[in-house]
């Protein structure tokens, strides 16, 4: 699996509007790792300053979104659930959009303004979902949470449309951003994503057994000794931080968190210890390939990444759904 | 082993369970019976800490309000009536999760785990189905798998919420016989909500009759299953009803 990640990464770095042979790409990357002087080498500049940080960021966003999807699907016992179903993604999008519109930035930390507001809004959406779910149904039943998540997503969508319609000259950048893109991602973005993925990813991996317990029913999870409320809150918090950071950097990129965990489950089975790791790696590979398609299909025009994932993901998901129905019948 | 003192459960302004007290000791199988809406399952859920309650519940002399969820799970197993499964786990994975409370957070070391899971599978007659996808099991097999999960928990007390009410006759008997076999080991006890009075009488050693959230009778089985109590709780002559149900219809016909 790691070899697949490395190979896909290498291909994605090599290909683009200016294709560079694989062996040449590998040697430039190796020279870059060893810190050799590559000044004056145009191909090295393209690879090391443009493509590599972007491919790394794309891998990390894909891995994070897919990991979040797998975790939410276990927690909510629903294969169609992911961070987006909870309303966390749309909350994060709204926060990021507000930060862009109001020009909120933190001194010394250019990325942090959007990310902080994005994570805060992701958290607030989460708290709102939990508060409403708790008010309606004290047990925080999963169906209630999903329903409220859907309502919240629609509400946030309306607010975002409202913001876009009032945004005037910034409209184009906002629209492109809501479609999802990592075209401007550099090493700073990659490092930020890596930090978030390591911290939240470890939290989620540490709860693999609890997610198995949730996947077999919440009442049963409590009966075997799982602290249902604490685990729910921890997993949801980790998911919302990850999604908040991803959305603040790459915008809305849909379907990764739905399709990849599904495929991973078919390959590895439902046990979360393996499922989470497989989803993480496959999610990264999938998004790297989608980004490659976005960059090269209509070159020199670049497609928004979110559009590519939705196009591939929707068709693929319909296929999965039809297949599942056929098997059930 | 289990002592319940003055437990009440309220939903807003409706009191579903009112001031119930009883005790279950080793070797006993307490049957909780009563008409629909009597508060039996609510009481069981309160004892399992699924619902909030007033009053005190002591498990092995300890107030359960102070016990952590894992500690509770090491002392008391709970089998719910319905199960919701979404993913194709194997029977063995499902039963293995019963060991959750015995494993530490990061190192999942559990020296007794393998043996307990194997024993639980064997006791429930599932050894041959251990690799089977749980989504393909029949209702009876699935209930046995969850029963095996509870057994794997290694507790001395079981709480069963109508464990066989949606199963056919053969599986009802299988589930109740399996629990009775489990109870043979000294120091173990069972409390179950049961709708079927015949099963309650056949397998129970003690009984608690409830009506409209209140306790009507509690004690050894024969002292509770009296004509007077049955009539008071079900507002009908239960004995006559059973005689009518059990008229010798099978014996009438040959073959």
Structural domain of residue A109, as residue ranges?
57-328
Q: Which of B97, B3, B113, B112 is nearest to A223 (CA)?
A: B97
Could A269 and B88 be called an inter-chain contact, meaning their C-beta atoms sit closer than 8 Å? yes
Portion 32-71 of A in contact with B at CB < 8 A: none
- In chain A, how many domains are there? 1
Interface-testing mutation among B52, B86, B151, B157, with chain A (most A C-beta atoms within 10 A): B86
Mean pLDDT confidence for A170-191: 73
Q: What is the pLDDT of residues B58-113, one digit of tens each?
A: 999 899 989 999 999 999 999 988 787 878 999 999 999 999 999 877 777 788 88
Does residue B18 sit at the A interface (CB-CB below 8 Å)? Answer: no
Question: What is chain A's mean pLDDT, rounded?
Answer: 83
Does residue A263 sit at the B interface (CB-CB below 8 Å)? Answer: no
User: Is a pLDDT exceeding 90 seen at residue B159?
Assistant: yes
Instruction: Supply the DSSP symbol for A134.
Output: H
Q: What is the pLDDT of residue A142?
A: 61
Q: What one-character-per-residue DSSP string does A181-232 give? A: --TT--HHHHHHHHHHHHHHHHHHHHTHHHHHHHHT-HHHHHHTT--HHHHH
Mean pLDDT confidence for A186-194: 87
Nearest CA in chain A to B102: A225
Does residue A223 sit at the B interface (CB-CB below 8 Å)? Answer: yes
Please check whether residue A92 lies inside any domain of the structure: yes
Please check whether residue A223 lies inside any domain of the structure: yes
Does residue B187 sit at the A interface (CB-CB below 8 Å)? Answer: no
Q: What is the pLDDT of residue B233?
A: 87
Give the residue, A258 or B146, on which the prediction is more confident: B146
Burial B224-254 (b: 16+ CB within 10 A, else e): bbeeebbeebbeeebeeeeeeeeeeeeeeee
Place of tokens 């251990």: B130
Please check whether residue A290 lies inside any domain of the structure: yes
List the Cα angle A304/A306/A311 in 5-degree steps: 100
CB atoms near residue A5 (< 10 Å): 17
For chain B, give every domain's residue range: 2-82+155-252
Please check whether residue A24 lies inside any domain of the structure: no
Burial class (CB in 10 A: 0-12, 13-18, 19+), A63: buried
Q: What is the pLDDT of residue A81?
A: 75
User: Is a pLDDT exceeding 70 seen at residue A170?
Assistant: no
Please check whether residue A170 lies inside any domain of the structure: yes
Distance from CA of B226 to the nearest CA of A (A): 34
Q: What one-character-per-residue DSSP string does chain B give? A: -EEEEEEEEEETTEEEEEEEEEEE-TT-EEEEE-STTSSHHHHHHHHTTSS--EEEEEETTEEGGGS-HHHHHHHEEEE-S-----S--BHHHHHHGGGGGGS-SSS---TTHHHHHHHHHHHTT-GGGTTSBGGGS-HHHHHHHHHHHHHHTT-SEEEEESTTTTS-HHHHHHHHHHHHHHHTSTT-EEEEE-S-HHHHHHH-SEEEEEETTEEEEEEEHHHHS-HHHHHHHHSS-HHHHHHHHTSSHHHHS--
Q: What is the pLDDT of residue B253?
A: 57
User: Is a pLDDT exceeding 70 seen at residue A108?
Assistant: no
Q: What is the pLDDT of residues B174-227, one digit of tens each?
A: 889 989 999 999 999 999 999 888 889 999 999 999 998 899 999 999 999 988
**Lowest pLDDT segment from A139-148, B54-63, B145-154, B158-167:** A139-148
Residues A251, A256, A261, A264, CA torsion sign: negative
Mean pLDDT confidence for A126-142: 74
Q: What one-character-per-residue DSSP string does A258-277 give? A: HHHHHHHHHHH-S-HHHHHH
Cα A246 to Cα A248: distance, rounded to the nearest angstrom: 5
Cα B245 to Cα B85: distance, rounded to the nearest angstrom: 36
Q: What is the pLDDT of residues B14-73, one digit of tens each?
A: 888 899 999 999 999 999 999 988 889 999 999 998 888 999 999 998 999 899 999 999
Helix (H, G, I), strand (E, B) or coil at A81: coil
Q: What is the pLDDT of residues A34-79, one digit of tens each?
A: 777 777 777 787 888 888 889 999 999 999 999 999 998 898 887 7
Does residue A77 sit at the B interface (CB-CB below 8 Å)? Answer: yes
Please check whether residue A155 lies inside any domain of the structure: yes
Residue numbers in A near B106 (CB within 8 A): 206
- The band of A141, judged by pLDDT with boundaries at 50, 70 and 90, is low
Nearest CA in chain B to A207: B105
User: Is a pLDDT exceeding 80 seen at residue A313?
Assistant: no
Please check whether residue A33 lies inside any domain of the structure: no
Nearest CA in chain A to B145: A216
Residue numbers in A near B79 (CB within 8 A): 223
Please check whether residue A45 lies inside any domain of the structure: no
Q: What is the pLDDT of residue B232?
A: 87
**Lowest pLDDT segment from A119-128, A166-175, A263-272:** A166-175
CATH homologous superfamily of B2-82+155-252: P-loop containing nucleotide triphosphate hydrolases (3.40.50.300)
Could B77 and A223 be called an inter-chain contact, meaning their C-beta atoms sit closer than 8 Å? yes
Give the residue, B123 or A203, on which the prediction is more confident: A203
Mean pLDDT confidence for A14-24: 81
User: Is a pLDDT exceeding 50 seen at residue B255?
Assistant: no
CB atoms near residue A300 (< 10 Å): 7
Cα A290 to Cα A176: distance, rounded to the nearest angstrom: 17
Q: What is the pLDDT of residue A208?
A: 94
């Amino acid at each position: 699996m790691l070899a697949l990640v490395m190979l896909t990464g290498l291909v994605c770095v090599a290909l683009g509007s200016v294709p560079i042979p694989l062996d040449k790409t590998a040697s430039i990357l190796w020279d870059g790792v060893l810190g050799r002087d590559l000044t004056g080498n145009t191909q090295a500049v393209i690879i090391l300053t443009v493509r590599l940080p972007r491919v790394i960021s794309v891998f990390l966003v894909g891995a994070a979104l897919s990991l979040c999807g797998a975790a939410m699907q276990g927690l909510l016992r629903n294969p169609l659930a992911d961070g987006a179903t909870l309303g966390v993604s749309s909350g994060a999008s709204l926060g990021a959009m507000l930060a862009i519109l109001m020009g909120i930035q933190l001194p010394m930390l250019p990325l942090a303004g959007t990310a902080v507001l994005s994570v805060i809004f992701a958290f607030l959406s989460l708290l709102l979902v939990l508060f409403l779910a708790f008010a309606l149904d004290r047990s925080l039943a999963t169906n209630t949470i999903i329903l409220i998540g859907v309502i919240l997503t629609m509400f946030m969508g309306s607010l975002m449309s409202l913001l876009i319609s009032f945004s005037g000259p910034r409209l184009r950048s906002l629209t492109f951003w809501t479609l999802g893109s990592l075209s401007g991602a550099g090493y700073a973005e990659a490092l930020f994503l890596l930090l978030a993925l390591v911290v939240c990813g470890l939290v989620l991996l540490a709860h693999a057994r609890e997610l198995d317990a949730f996947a077999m029913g919440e009442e049963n999870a409590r009966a075997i000794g799982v602290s249902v409320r604490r685990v729910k809150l921890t997993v949801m918090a980790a998911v919302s931080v990850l999604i908040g950071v991803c959305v603040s950097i790459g915008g809305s990129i849909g379907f990764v968190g739905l399709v990849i965990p599904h495929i991973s489950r078919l390959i590895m089975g439902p046990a979360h210890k393996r499922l989470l790791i497989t989803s993480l790696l496959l999610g990264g590979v999938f998004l790297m390939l989608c980004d490659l398609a976005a960059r090269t299909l209509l070159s020199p025009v670049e497609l928004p990444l979110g559009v590519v994932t939705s196009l591939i993901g929707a068709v693929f998901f319909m296929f999965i759904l039809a297949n599942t129905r056929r098997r059930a019948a | 082993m289990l002592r319940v003192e003055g437990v009440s459960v309220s939903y807003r302004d409706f009191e579903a369970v009112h001031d119930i007290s009883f005790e279950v000791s080793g070797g006993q199988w307490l049957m909780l019976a009563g008409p629909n809406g009597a508060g039996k399952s609510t009481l069981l859920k309160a004892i399992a800490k699924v619902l909030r309650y007033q009053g005190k519940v002591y498990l092995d002399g300890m107030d359960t309000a102070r016990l952590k969820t894992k500690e509770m799970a090491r002392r008391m197993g709970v089998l719910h009536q319905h199960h919701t499964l979404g993913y194709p786990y194997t029977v063995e994975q499902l039963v293995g999760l019963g060991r959750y409370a015995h494993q530490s957070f990061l190192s999942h070391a559990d020296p007794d785990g393998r043996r307990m899971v194997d024993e639980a599978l064997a006791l429930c007659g599932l050894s041959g189905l251990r690799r089977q996808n749980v989504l393909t099991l029949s209702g009876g097999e699935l209930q046995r798998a969850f029963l095996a999960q509870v057994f794997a928990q290694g507790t001395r007390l079981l709480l069963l919420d109508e464990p066989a009410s949606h199963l056919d006759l053969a599986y009802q008997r299988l589930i109740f016989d399996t629990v009775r076999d489990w109870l043979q080991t000294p120091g173990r006890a069972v409390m179950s909500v049961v709708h079927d009075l015949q099963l309650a009488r056949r397998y129970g050693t003690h009984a608690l009759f409830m009506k409209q959230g209140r306790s009507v009778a509690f004690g050894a089985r024969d002292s509770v299953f009296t004509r007077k109590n049955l009539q008071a709780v079900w507002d009908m002559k239960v004995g006559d009803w059973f005689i009518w149900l059990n008229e010798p219809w099978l014996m009438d016909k040959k073959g």
